[in-house]
Amino acid sequence: MMWQADIETMPRAQLEQLQLKRLQDTVARLRANSALYGERLKEVGEVKHLQDIEKIPFTVKDDFRNHYPTGLLAVDKREVVRYQGSSGTTGKPTIAGYTKKDLEIWADLVARVACAAGVTPEDTAQVCFGYGLFTGGFGLHYGLERLGAAVLPMSSGNTERQLMMMEDFGITVLIATPSYAQYLGEMAREAGVAGKLKLRVGLFGGEGCTAAMRQRIEQNLGIVATDNYGMCELTGPGISGECLERNGLHFAEDCFYVEVIDPDTGAVLPRGEQGELVVTTLMRDAQPVLRYRTRDITRLHYEQCACGRTHVRMEKVKGRSDDMLIIKGVNVFPSQIEGVLMGFDHIGAHYQLVLKTVGFIDTMEINVELLDGALLESFGELENLQRSLEARLHAVLGLSAKVKLVGPRTLERFTGKAKRVLDLRSTT
Ligand code: DLL
């Protein structure tokens, strides 16, 4: 099923022509209406080919901070009908403004990823993303309405009430971060309602999760879930999402131009190489963004997908370059650790990484929840499991980590994006 089949299956040559036209329009509008880009584009000549984009300087998060809250608008403020922001809870948020047309396009983009995940107008969806500045709640809400599904706007938190409504309404679609979906599944089983739920589809996003973790959540809740990516600086959710092939997230290339760069040198990498995702908006009126450095590490696949969509597929995000841990000089993404942990049967879905400095040396301890507390009674089995985990982690990461196995339900649960890393290392 496709929401805008003509666009989603557009032959690549035609798609690239459309991108060039839209890029040229965006650049022209920014030259005329944006103080920041007007200045930056002075040195950039004409954009005649898509590759000419490489002459344009990058936009970075600090540009949003320095022009907070509305300095990046390229339209008169009277044309703005909504503001959204980044999900962080401290400091000044990153702000995105939208015109009416921007909101229309955004709703269609979200309807596209929901449709690709198998959502239909017959469905009733429970949105467990926060409604507020965060783009997740309102973004999914209007996209699902656009598609014709019924929406229950529960927002995040109050898990018992979420489960009650899920059962009462016969909710079929769950919209949540994977960590909250995991928690909901756990609570549903505990409350004895898991068997009564009618869920069939999940749309996960706002944070990554490994394929192994997803499989566990799917089993708990009886759903098939797709991964959906987005960020406030570039609109919000709906910029890329998986189809049911689940073989990468299709990027909405009619509305965005994507590149992958070497995060250290800024050089554009050849197609298919892993690096930092850089995105240019092609259809935003209120706040167009040129070459935004997302900090997210991924890889792009240009071969056509079995679903028939032609838009480029982005691999699941491996991590953010600023979340990458450097431990004793070794680069580690938390997702690599999750991948190892989920390969063990007795291990639950909750873990926490604790980094400390002991006598000038970095150490990593991983608190890992067991699925079954009974294992804690058997010292021998516990020790065996701990040793196997440590050996596997060492083999995969090239680094020793101490594993501490803890009882079920002892680690913190999250209703939004999970915070699994506790970095207590001294910075001196
Ligand atoms: O998290 C937008 C969103 C909401 C996407 C709901 C999908 C569903 P921000 O709060 O601005 O926006 O955070 C953006 O979150 O740069 C990634 O690091 C991370 N992120 C978002 N989705 C994924 C994902 C929303 N599917 C930042 N996989 C991004 C991995 C993700 N990371």
Ligand 1 atom, smallest distance to 232 CA: 11
**For ligand 1, atom 12, which residue shows the shortest CA distance?**
231
Q: What is the pLDDT of residue 24?
A: 98
Q: What is the pLDDT of residue 428?
A: 59
Q: Which of 110, 231, 250 to mutate to test the pocket of ligand 1 (most atoms within 8 A of CB)?
A: 231
Question: Ligand 1 in contact with 136 (CB < 6 A)?
Answer: yes
Residues 351-378: pLDDT tens digits? 999 999 998 899 999 999 999 999 999 9
- Whether 382 contacts 375, CB under 8 Å: yes
**For ligand 1, atom 19, which residue shows the shortest CA distance?**
207
Q: What is the mean pLDDT of the chain?
A: 95
- Whether 411 contacts 354, CB under 8 Å: no
**Residue 22 in 3-state DSSP?**
helix
Question: Ligand 1 in contact with 231 (CB < 6 A)?
Answer: yes
Strand-by-strand arrangement of the 275-281 sheet: 256-261, 275-281, 292-298, 319-320
Beta strand ranges found along 184-340 (DSSP E) = 201-205, 224-231, 236-242, 249-251, 256-261, 275-281, 292-298, 300-301, 313-314, 319-320, 325-327, 330-332
Question: Ligand 1 in contact with 320 (CB < 6 A)?
Answer: yes
Among 50, 146, 78, 141, CA closest to 285: 78
CA pair distance 372, 347, nearest whole angstrom: 8
Distance from the CA of 321 to the center of ligand 1, in angstroms? Answer: 14
Residues 95-152: pLDDT tens digits? 999 999 999 999 999 999 999 999 999 999 999 999 999 999 999 999 999 999 999 9
Residues 4-13: pLDDT tens digits? 999 999 999 9
Q: What is the pLDDT of residue 114?
A: 98
Question: Ligand 1 in contact with 207 (CB < 6 A)?
Answer: yes
**For ligand 1, atom 14, which residue shows the shortest CA distance?**
231
CA pair distance 348, 367, nearest whole angstrom: 11
- 420: which DSSP letter? -
Among 207, 180, 185, 175, CA closest to 334: 207
19 φ/ψ angles, rounded to the nearest 5 degrees: -60, -45
Amino acid present at 284? R
- Pull the structure tokens for residue 268: 């554009």
Distance from the CA of 231 to the center of ligand 1, in angstroms? Answer: 5
Question: Ligand 1 in contact with 206 (CB < 6 A)?
Answer: yes
Q: What is the pLDDT of residue 91?
A: 80
CA pair distance 100, 79, nearest whole angstrom: 8
Distance from the CA of 32 to the center of ligand 1, in angstroms? Answer: 31
**In 67-134, which ranges are continuous DSSP H helix?**
100-116
Full-model pTM: 0.95
Q: Which residues of the chain fall short of a pLDDT of 50?
A: none
- 268: which DSSP letter? B
Question: Ligand 1 in contact with 126 (CB < 6 A)?
Answer: no
Question: Ligand 1 in contact with 232 (CB < 6 A)?
Answer: yes
